[in-house]
Amino acid sequence: MSLPSADAFAERVVVAARIVVAMWLVGWTCKCVVLLEYFFKTLVSHPMVHEFFPAVFRSALVAQAAYVLPVLALPVFFSRRQAWFCVAAVVMAVSSALLLMHQDSASDATFETSFWVGAWLVWFSFSMRRRDQEFLTHARSLALCVVAIQFCGAFVGKCTPEYWSGQVLADMFMEQKQGLFASWIGSHFDQATIRISFQWISKFLIVGEGVFALAPLLPYRLVCCVGIPFMLSFALFRSWMIYSVLMCLIGLLIAGWWLMAKAVADISSASSSRKYPM
């Protein structure tokens, strides 16, 4: 298998890293209106004290700093220097880890998925100078492992009678008016019909999450072509803020797709050059 030129390889890796950073930041800021008020106002006026957490992870200042720290990732969109990508990756992973361990944000899945994607980017950024094809293969494989970890947790968490019967999602949909078409569906269908529908919708989501928990065993194209629409569809039944959890995973899959597509294009180009030399 012929390798692409060093310049083409570097460009592909830079674009992939930027895709991950961009989608990670989109997810990170999806709930910024809610989280900024929560971190900078609620935690200051109504501090909570939980002795289980060390003092540093009870501090509102730590939560505030961790949430705004990823602004340091923005230089990657203006520079191709590896140092900036490494700084961005470390900042993203550390910010996520701090909020994941903080008493006031530990229960938010946004920071859990952000951490794992940030950890993938740390490995990717510090390895950006590699020129071997195995690097791209490992990047895609590790991306599938990250996706599997997230869906495995979601699948196990929903393996309850309440979720399987559709009761939980139906209650969230009707009582909290969650979902892009919640108002329209509520005005056109009665509650009995909606609950029957959610019996199947909930099963579909749970089975889908169980399948994608096996992502490393599935073809990458299949995971992308089915997984991305599957994740985007969540907002049909849940609040659009669910994208704060999913956007970084979608970005990870798109980046892997880009690496794979460009690799195929480079190999095809190399084959054509050998067959029809200029």
Tens digit of pLDDT for each residue in 211-233? Answer: 999 999 999 999 999 999 999 88
Is residue 257, in this structure, part of any structural domain at all? yes
Percent of the chain scoring above 70 in pLDDT: 86
Residue 80: inside a domain: yes
Q: Is 26 helix (H, G, I), strand (E, B) or coil?
A: helix
Cβ burial 139-172 (10 Å sphere, 16+ → b, else e): bbebbbebbbbbbbebbeebeeeebeebbbbbeb
Of the candidate ranges 80-84, 167-171, 219-223, 245-249, the one whose mean pLDDT is the lowest? 167-171
Separation between Cα atoms, residue 69 and residue 89, nearest integer Å: 12
Is residue 202 one of the residues assigned to a domain?
yes
- Count of H helices and E strands in the chain? 13, 0
Please report which confidence band the pLDDT of residue 272 belongs to, taking 50, 70 and 90 as the band edges. Answer: very low
Residue 1 domain-assigned?
no
pLDDT at position 186 over 70: no
The pLDDT assigned to 193 comes to: 80
Query: Closest Cα to residue 93, out of 55, 132, 123?
Result: 123
Residues 188, 272: Cα–Cα separation, whole Å: 58
Name the residue range of residue 32's domain.
6-275
Q: Is residue 267's pLDDT more than 60?
A: no
Integer angstrom CA distances of residue 148 from 38, 113, 144, 154, 216: 30, 11, 6, 10, 7
Q: How many domains does the chain have?
A: 1
Give the separation between CA 278 and CA 268, rounded to whole angstroms.
15
Report the pLDDT value the prediction gives residue 4, as an integer from 0 to 100: 44
pTM (predicted TM-score): 0.86
Lowest-pLDDT range, 9-23, 42-56, 125-139, 258-272? 258-272
The answer to whether residue 28 is domain-embedded is: yes
Q: Return d(Cα 247, Cα 134) in angstroms, integer.
A: 26
Segment 184-194 shows an average pLDDT of 73
Phi/psi at 222 (nearest 5 deg)? -65, -45
**Residue 7 token pair:** 């310049």
Percent of the chain residues past pLDDT 90, beyond the cut: 50
pLDDT for res 233: 85
**Residues 104-161: pLDDT tens digits?**
898 888 999 999 999 999 999 999 888 788 888 899 999 999 999 999 988 998 888 8
